[in-house]
Amino acid sequence: MSNGASLPYKLRPNKAVDRELFLALLGRLAATLKIESYRYVSLGGAFLEDFRLIHARLGICDMVCVEAEKDVHTRQIFNRPVDSILCVYSTLENYLDSNDFDKPVIIWFDYTAPGEISEQIERFARTISEVPINSILRITLNANPQSLGTPKSDEIGARVGRLDGDTGQKQTIQEWRLDRFRERLGVLVPSDLKADGMTFKNFGKSVLHVLYLAVEKEVLSLPDREVVWALSTHYADGQPMVTATLLIKDDNQEQLQTLIKEWSFNSTPTTPRKIDMPALSTIERLTMESCSNPRERMGYDLPKSEIGEDPFEMFRQYYRVYPHFARIDL
């Protein structure tokens, strides 16, 4: 895991909202699937915060935290919030390869390293065939277009008009990054992807589109199972990220599909939900929670991030799961 993965949640409010949506999804499915009997497998970071919440909210006791960095693994053993968490010193891939699951699992592929995105997507897709029916798979991927690299100044030029490769002109930075994206992900990249998909605002959707195609291709060879896309998000707390969550079901479980499709936050990799929460003072937050037209009441606009969503609309959508952070002296 990268250093960014160990940042406290008070510095990552958008990730905190995304995590709350994931927990809400599991809560919605809990009674039907008897989720308390599942095994939960994830990369918990040094503080295992998601494990604490998974146990508290859903009652899951069978939990496995996988970590490939020795120092982080040692901290995890010390910081375990529940003693039933098994801390394994390994990569997630090696753990999955060496274990057969005899009951449904929830696996969170919480990746941060962008250079291995092709292998990450392919592994996620392949796991669909390796876990029992009713398992839930979730993935987090780096969605920063800068991870594709920066061209030399003599390799690109400003272009007016078309972005699709005028003969004899230098590439734009987006076109240069599209070439790198194709090199990194190969045949997984759709042929009609344009250079505009390499901008900060759109790159996350491009990554999710590739993930969607990889999963759909995998499922074509699995006649005994289907996937239901449940939650996909795009957010940035400094580092832009995307997530996608799916349920694996068989042909006879239409109730599960209906339960997911009727959820108000249901979203797919082709239509991800953007999470772009504003930084607010206490009085701003109270005003936005209690007023039907907070923009008029406050008399000013709030700044937008690079993702570019309306801060007032974002707060309206997610105010119920917007994190509260406070200092407590012990």
Alpha carbons 3 and 64: distance in angstroms, whole number = 21
C-beta separation of 89 from 65 below 8 A: no
Q: Which residues of 160-174 are buried (b: 16+ CB within 10 A; e: fewer)?
A: eeeeeeeeeeebbbb
CA 81, 277, 247, 69 torsion: positive or negative? negative
Q: Splitting the chain (330 residues) into consecutive groups of 10 residues, what average pLDDT does each group show? A: 49 90 97 97 94 97 97 97 97 96 97 93 97 98 94 69 55 94 94 95 96 96 95 93 97 90 97 94 94 95 90 95 77
Q: Residue 307: how many CB atoms within 10 A of its CB?
A: 17
Q: What is the DSSP string of 14-40?
A: HHHHHHHHHHHHHHHHHHHHTGGGSEE
* pLDDT for res 223: 93
Tell me which residue of 270, 267, 274, 265 sits closest to 310, measured CA to CA. 274
* pLDDT for res 10: 54
123: helix, strand or coil: helix
What residue spans define the domains of the chain? Answer: 3-144+200-275, 282-321
C-beta separation of 103 from 38 below 8 A: yes
Bridge partners of 237? 239
Tell me which residue of 143, 134, 90, 86 sits closest to 113, measured CA to CA. 143
- Residue 224 DSSP code: T
Domain 3-144+200-275 has CATH 3.40.50.150: yes
CA distances 193 to 16, 50, 140, 308, Å, are 31, 35, 21, 21
* pLDDT for res 41: 98
Bridge partners of 89? 67
Extract the tokens encoding 236.
């940035």
- Find tokens 């599209």 and name the residue: 178
Cβ burial of 65 (10 Å; 0-12, 13-18, 19+) is buried
**C-alpha R_g of the chain:** 21
CA distances 43 to 80, 103, 172, 299, Å, are 13, 20, 37, 43
Tell me which residue of 183, 248, 180 sits closest to 215, measured CA to CA. 248
